[in-house]
Structure 1
Amino acid sequence: VSLSYLIRFFFISILPSLSRPSFSLIGLGFQIQEKPFKIMASSKMIVLKSSDGETFELEEAVAVEWQPIRYIIEDDCANPSIPLPNVTSKILAKVIEYCKKHVHTPKSDDKSSEDDLKAFDAEFAQVNQGILFDLILAANYLNIKSLQELTCQTVADMLKGKTPEEIRETFNIKDDFIPEEEEEVRRENAWAFE
């Protein structure tokens, strides 16, 4: 087996699985378990640097919710600051606001806590499209599943029940099909227009 084959196998088969709490390689006879990350009682601060050079101090308890940051902290490589080249300061501030609220809201069976988070999420998602799409990209980059789900659901709700023309208008998408091409697409995907 060549080295290039093993590298390709790792990046295609194994690496995507590492984001899951545990995974197994069937047929290879071993399983890898991710260790739970323990946060110290101290309120250690992490410094994040946005793509436009602005720095943010964030509690470690909040920062470890972001998978790439968690790995950096686990490997003790977080000094002096962690660069986030794909996130602007405006979006990073919003992401931090979201994560602080979700980390500091007590996880309990208390209905009021859950209602408080739902109300916060509903208000948080009411932003212009540019910010919304940047939040989706940041949530994906930082692997913040709850933020990713919230922002993608917001876009899905914007699409729900709209015709293709209304969707183009909502998202300012230029219709570049000629009538014959559009008719062909509608014919091939008739199930979607029922």
Structure 2
Amino acid sequence: LTWDRSVFHIPNDVLHMTTTLNTLITSLHLDSSDPIPLRNVHAAVMRKVLQWCTYHKNDPWSDEDGVGEGLLSRWDLQFFNEDQATVFELILAANYLGIKSLLDAACKYVAKLLAGKTPEQIRQMFNIKNDLTPEEQQKIRKENAWLEY
């Protein structure tokens, strides 16, 4: 049961991917068909979470392993090619639901978006106001001289 009162049936082969729901079902002795309120997830985001989990349900990683060191697949790149707000909502939902592999994949996608960007480009990308003085900016550049961008 999502924040906006939508009900989703989660198949058992997808349910195993979410540690939060598995823990709730086990510790509260719920039946897997009992509705579980998910106050932090909207229906549109839950649909995307289930789409991603259904596609990846037979992948070899475990929840502990995440997506590993490999590159994102073409399917994942297309899946995450959404507006920024949706990608960040997916990150929050994956964290809340305990789906480490989705969390890792979404964060890897965001890291790919940020790679090679200057601080100014990142501020523009996320509409962040630069409230640092020129002196503070210089100090940060000096402290992080090893960082290439």
Give the TM-score normalised by structure 2. Answer: 0.81
Richer in strand (by share): 1
2:42 to 65, 88, 91: 88
The match for 1:56 is: 8
Alignment of 1:30-41 (within 5 A): none
* Distance of 2:109 and 2:124 partners within structure 1: 17
**Structure (1 or 2) with the larger CA radius of gyration:** 1
The match for 2:145 is: 190
Give how far 1:60 is off. 2.2
For residue 8 of structure 2, give the secondary structure of its aligned residue in structure 1: strand
**Higher relative contact order (CA closer than 8 Å, sequence separation 6+):** 2
The match for 1:102 is: 56
1:152 to 95, 99, 107: 107
Instruction: Count residues in correspondence.
Output: 136
Can you list the C-alpha shifts for 1:5-63, whole angstroms capped at 9, x where unaligned? xxxxxxxxxxxxxxxxxxxxxxxxxxxxxxxxxxxxxxxxxxxx111111111212211
Unaligned runs of 5+ in 1: 1-48, 108-116
* Distance of 1:118 and 1:164 partners within structure 2: 27
* Distance of 2:139 and 2:55 partners within structure 1: 48
* Distance of 2:86 and 2:59 partners within structure 1: 28
Pair 1:176-2:131 in alignment: yes
The match for 2:85 is: 130
Give how far 1:193 is off. 5.0
Question: Percent identity over the alignment?
Answer: 40
Q: Is the 8 A contact 1:186 1:193 kept in 2?
A: no
RMSD across aligned C-alpha pairs, in angstroms?
Answer: 2.0
* Distance of 1:135 and 1:71 partners within structure 2: 20
1:70 to 12, 16, 22: 22
